[in-house]
């Protein structure tokens, strides 16, 4: 873990077409979903920045915004299912098992 983390703000302002090797790690009620940015660029357009693309992501099951989003350098794994490159958490707004409306009570 001595590698220097890429700057989150810089990545958020990067266009999708320049992040085509990267993947998103989404956590929601569906569990963990790995989503290639290449596909996202095809769907939303390569000119869109990551910052503007994130709000468009929806969980396939509940149609809500995934509470946890991380960026993975690559979709490749080390053979044990773990990502090979760096991983940067972009959004972490609580656990999907405890929705805010329930946690508030
Ligand atoms: Zn969901």
In a structure prediction context, what are the per-residue pLDDT tens digits for the chain, which is 105 residues long? 445 555 788 999 999 999 999 999 999 997 999 899 999 999 999 999 999 999 999 998 999 999 999 999 998 888 887 778 888 999 998 654 544 454 444
Inside any domain, residue 101: no
Structure confidence at residue 6 (pLDDT): 56
Inside any domain, residue 63: yes
Structure confidence at residue 94 (pLDDT): 60
CA 26 to ligand 1 centroid distance, Å: 10
CA 100 to ligand 1 centroid distance, Å: 13
| Cα torsion angle, 76, 89, 4, 53, sign | positive
Inside any domain, residue 72: yes
Cβ atoms of 34 and 72 closer than 8 Å: yes
Give me the domain span that covers residue 55.
8-93
- The three-class DSSP label of residue 87 is strand
Inside any domain, residue 66: yes
CA 95 to ligand 1 centroid distance, Å: 11
Inside any domain, residue 3: no
- How many structural domains comprise the chain? 1
C-alpha distances out from residue 105 to 7, 94, 100, Å: 36, 15, 9
Structure confidence at residue 1 (pLDDT): 45
């Amino acid at each position: 873990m001595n590698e220097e983390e890429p700057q989150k703000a810089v990545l958020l302002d990067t266009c999708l077409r320049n992040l085509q090797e990267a993947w998103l790690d989404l956590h929601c009620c569906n569990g963990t979903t790995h989503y290639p940015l290449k596909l996202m660029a095809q769907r939303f357009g390569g000119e869109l920045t990551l910052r503007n693309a994130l709000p468009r992501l929806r969980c396939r099951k509940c149609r809500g915004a995934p509470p946890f989003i991380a960026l993975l350098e690559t979709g490749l794994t080390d053979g044990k299912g773990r990502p090979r490159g760096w991983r940067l958490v972009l959004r972490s707004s609580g656990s999907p098992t405890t929705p805010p409306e329930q946690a508030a009570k």
